[in-house]
Amino acid sequence: SKAELLLITADVTVDAERIIKTTIDRFGQLDVLVNNAGIFEGGNILDIDVDQFDRLMNTNMRSIFLLTKLAAPHLIKTKGNIVNVSSASGLRANHAMSTYCCSKAAVDQFTRCIALDLASQNVRVNSVNPGIIVTDIFRYSGPSPAELDEFYKRLKKMHPLGRVGEPKEVALAIVFLASDSTSFITGANLPIDGGRHVVSSLIVD
């Protein structure tokens, strides 16, 4: 049978309750929550402002808290699970990316804490930590097409496998963590970064 698709146009920073309610009204239950919304903004601590900090934290962390809190009672009923999309930047410090790195590190710690909170209810909680992946998040941050191509070429060296990642590689890892194949895994932060997280040090000019 064909899967039924529900599209909801929403802002995760303010519409979490509507997202969950609309989903339950349509399907009657919730089996998996994937917290995938995120934004990127860089900047040195001398340049960033409070508004930027709030934007990043509200989208990258607060929305995950709200959706998780609202989804948890439904996931307990189905013994479902949660997969949060974090970043390799949550595992490693990066120059001029302090707020983004902190927002993703918060996602990783939240994942571990909520895994403990919900373990007794048989709800698993894990996260994935992608490295540089070819997605629109970088295009939306403002570079020209030529600058974006150069960006990807330059940052291939960040990954020991010598390339950047593709969205499908992240998606397959999410499906894996959400499946019964990982029924004894919870509280894990899974790097999908071509080995970036094991590099001892890295400075990119």
| Domains of the chain (ranges, CATH numbers) | 33-198 (3.40.50.720)
Confidence (pLDDT) at 1: 60
Confidence (pLDDT) at 2: 78
Catalytic residue among 100, 105, 124, 132: 100
Confidence (pLDDT) at 145: 87
What is the residue-wise DSSP string for 193-205?
STTGGG-S-----
Confidence (pLDDT) at 157: 84
Quick check: pTM over 0.85?
yes
Which residue positions in the chain have pLDDT lower than 50?
203-205
Query: Is residue 100 among the annotated active site residues?
Result: yes
DSSP conformational letter for 159:
S
Q: Give the neighbor-by-neighbor strand order of the sheet with 32-35.
A: 32-35, 81-85, 124-130, 189-192
Confidence (pLDDT) at 205: 45
Confidence (pLDDT) at 201: 59
